[in-house]
Protein backbone atom coordinates (compact mmCIF):
# COMPACT_ATOMS: atom_id res chain seq x y z
CA UNK A 1 0.00 0.00 0.00
CA UNK A 2 1.43 3.33 -1.02
CA UNK A 3 -0.05 6.56 0.32
CA UNK A 4 1.37 9.85 -0.83
CA UNK A 5 0.76 13.53 -1.38
CA UNK A 6 2.09 14.84 -4.70
CA UNK A 7 4.91 17.36 -4.32
CA UNK A 8 7.47 18.76 -6.77
CA UNK A 9 10.28 18.29 -4.23
CA UNK A 10 9.40 14.60 -3.81
CA UNK A 11 9.28 14.13 -7.57
CA UNK A 12 12.71 15.74 -8.01
CA UNK A 13 14.11 13.62 -5.19
CA UNK A 14 12.60 10.49 -6.78
CA UNK A 15 14.28 11.25 -10.09
CA UNK A 16 17.64 12.07 -8.48
CA UNK A 17 17.55 8.86 -6.43
CA UNK A 18 16.56 6.87 -9.50
CA UNK A 19 19.61 8.14 -11.39
CA UNK A 20 21.89 7.13 -8.51
CA UNK A 21 20.34 3.71 -7.91
CA UNK A 22 21.56 0.58 -9.66
CA UNK A 23 19.18 -1.94 -11.20
CA UNK A 24 17.39 -4.21 -8.73
CA UNK A 25 15.53 -7.52 -9.13
CA UNK A 26 12.16 -6.05 -8.08
CA UNK A 27 12.66 -2.66 -9.71
CA UNK A 28 9.75 -0.54 -8.45
CA UNK A 29 9.38 -2.35 -5.12
CA UNK A 30 13.11 -2.20 -4.35
CA UNK A 31 13.32 1.44 -5.38
CA UNK A 32 10.38 2.45 -3.17
CA UNK A 33 11.83 0.47 -0.24
CA UNK A 34 15.14 2.32 -0.61
CA UNK A 35 13.59 5.73 -1.17
CA UNK A 36 11.24 5.49 1.83
CA UNK A 37 13.55 3.52 4.14
CA UNK A 38 13.21 6.10 6.91
CA UNK A 39 9.42 6.41 6.77
CA UNK A 40 8.45 2.78 6.22
CA UNK A 41 5.43 1.66 8.23
CA UNK A 42 4.67 -2.05 7.94
CA UNK A 43 1.08 -3.02 7.28
CA UNK A 44 -0.32 -5.48 9.85
CA UNK A 45 -0.63 -9.09 8.66
CA UNK A 46 -4.38 -8.70 8.87
CA UNK A 47 -4.26 -6.41 5.81
CA UNK A 48 -1.27 -7.88 3.96
CA UNK A 49 -0.79 -11.58 4.58
CA UNK A 50 2.08 -12.69 2.37
CA UNK A 51 1.74 -16.46 2.01
CA UNK A 52 5.38 -17.04 2.94
CA UNK A 53 4.43 -16.05 6.51
CA UNK A 54 2.38 -19.25 6.74
CA UNK A 55 5.39 -21.47 6.22
CA UNK A 56 8.02 -19.29 7.87
CA UNK A 57 6.16 -17.94 10.91
CA UNK A 58 2.78 -19.69 11.16
CA UNK A 59 2.58 -18.88 14.87
CA UNK A 60 2.24 -15.17 13.99
CA UNK A 61 -0.71 -15.65 11.63
CA UNK A 62 -4.31 -15.58 12.85
CA UNK A 63 -6.15 -16.61 9.68
CA UNK A 64 -9.56 -15.78 11.11
CA UNK A 65 -8.51 -12.11 11.32
CA UNK A 66 -6.97 -11.84 7.83
CA UNK A 67 -8.73 -9.47 5.43
CA UNK A 68 -6.21 -9.32 2.55
CA UNK A 69 -4.04 -12.12 1.17
CA UNK A 70 -1.06 -11.24 -1.02
CA UNK A 71 -0.45 -14.12 -3.42
CA UNK A 72 3.06 -13.02 -4.36
CA UNK A 73 5.07 -16.18 -3.65
CA UNK A 74 6.20 -18.16 -6.68
CA UNK A 75 3.55 -20.72 -7.60
CA UNK A 76 0.95 -19.25 -5.25
CA UNK A 77 -1.52 -17.79 -7.74
CA UNK A 78 -4.90 -19.43 -7.02
CA UNK A 79 -5.80 -19.76 -10.71
CA UNK A 80 -2.72 -21.93 -11.35
CA UNK A 81 -2.53 -23.69 -7.98
CA UNK A 82 -2.04 -27.48 -8.09
CA UNK A 83 -0.88 -28.14 -4.52
CA UNK A 84 2.40 -29.50 -5.88
CA UNK A 85 4.17 -26.13 -5.77
CA UNK A 86 6.88 -25.72 -3.15
CA UNK A 87 5.43 -24.98 0.32
CA UNK A 88 1.86 -24.97 -1.02
CA UNK A 89 0.60 -28.43 0.05
CA UNK A 90 -0.76 -27.15 3.35
CA UNK A 91 -4.30 -27.10 4.73
CA UNK A 92 -4.20 -23.36 5.45
CA UNK A 93 -3.11 -22.61 1.87
CA UNK A 94 -5.76 -24.97 0.48
CA UNK A 95 -8.41 -23.14 2.51
CA UNK A 96 -7.23 -19.77 1.17
CA UNK A 97 -7.23 -21.04 -2.41
CA UNK A 98 -10.74 -22.51 -1.97
CA UNK A 99 -11.94 -19.18 -0.56
CA UNK A 100 -10.37 -17.28 -3.48
CA UNK A 101 -12.18 -19.56 -5.94
CA UNK A 102 -15.48 -19.02 -4.07
CA UNK A 103 -15.07 -15.27 -4.43
CA UNK A 104 -14.01 -15.59 -8.06
CA UNK A 105 -16.91 -17.93 -8.88
CA UNK A 106 -19.40 -15.55 -7.26
CA UNK A 107 -17.96 -12.65 -9.25
CA UNK A 108 -18.07 -14.75 -12.44
CA UNK A 109 -21.70 -15.71 -11.77
CA UNK A 110 -22.61 -12.05 -11.37
CA UNK A 111 -20.82 -11.38 -14.69
CA UNK A 112 -22.76 -14.04 -16.57
CA UNK A 113 -21.10 -17.21 -15.33
CA UNK A 114 -18.80 -17.80 -18.30
CA UNK A 115 -15.47 -16.82 -16.79
CA UNK A 116 -14.60 -19.90 -14.74
CA UNK A 117 -15.59 -22.61 -17.28
CA UNK A 118 -13.81 -20.73 -20.06
CA UNK A 119 -10.70 -20.34 -17.95
CA UNK A 120 -10.66 -24.07 -17.08
CA UNK A 121 -10.96 -25.06 -20.73
CA UNK A 122 -8.14 -22.68 -21.65
CA UNK A 123 -6.02 -23.87 -18.71
CA UNK A 124 -6.52 -27.51 -19.72
CA UNK A 125 -5.49 -26.59 -23.25
CA UNK A 126 -2.38 -24.83 -21.93
CA UNK A 127 -3.59 -21.43 -23.09
CA UNK A 128 -3.87 -19.55 -19.80
CA UNK A 129 -0.85 -17.40 -19.13
CA UNK A 130 -2.67 -14.66 -17.23
CA UNK A 131 -6.16 -14.50 -15.82
CA UNK A 132 -7.89 -11.42 -14.50
CA UNK A 133 -8.73 -11.84 -10.85
CA UNK A 134 -11.14 -10.31 -8.35
CA UNK A 135 -9.82 -8.22 -5.51
CA UNK A 136 -7.69 -10.08 -2.99
CA UNK A 137 -9.49 -8.19 -0.23
CA UNK A 138 -11.76 -10.54 1.65
CA UNK A 139 -12.55 -11.75 5.10
CA UNK A 140 -11.78 -15.38 5.94
CA UNK A 141 -14.73 -15.46 8.30
CA UNK A 142 -17.26 -14.01 5.90
- Which candidate, 80, 79, 29, 91, places its Cα nearest to that of 55? 91
52-73 pLDDT per residue, tens? 898 889 999 999 999 999 888 7
Q: What is the pTM of this model?
A: 0.56
Q: What is the pLDDT of residues 17-31, one digit of tens each?
A: 888 877 766 667 778
- Give me the mean pLDDT over the 113-123 stretch: 60
Instruction: Report in angstroms the alpha-carbon separations of 114 from 78, 126, 139.
Output: 18, 18, 25
Task: Say which range, 85-94, 102-111, 113-122, has the weakest mean pLDDT.
Answer: 113-122
For residue 136, the number of C-alpha atoms closer than 13 Å in the C-beta half-sphere is 18
Amino acid sequence: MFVFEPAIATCKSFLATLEETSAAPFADQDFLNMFFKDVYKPIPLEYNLVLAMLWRHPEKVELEKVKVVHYCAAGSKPWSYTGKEENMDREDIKMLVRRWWEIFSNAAARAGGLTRPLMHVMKDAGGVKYAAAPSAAWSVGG
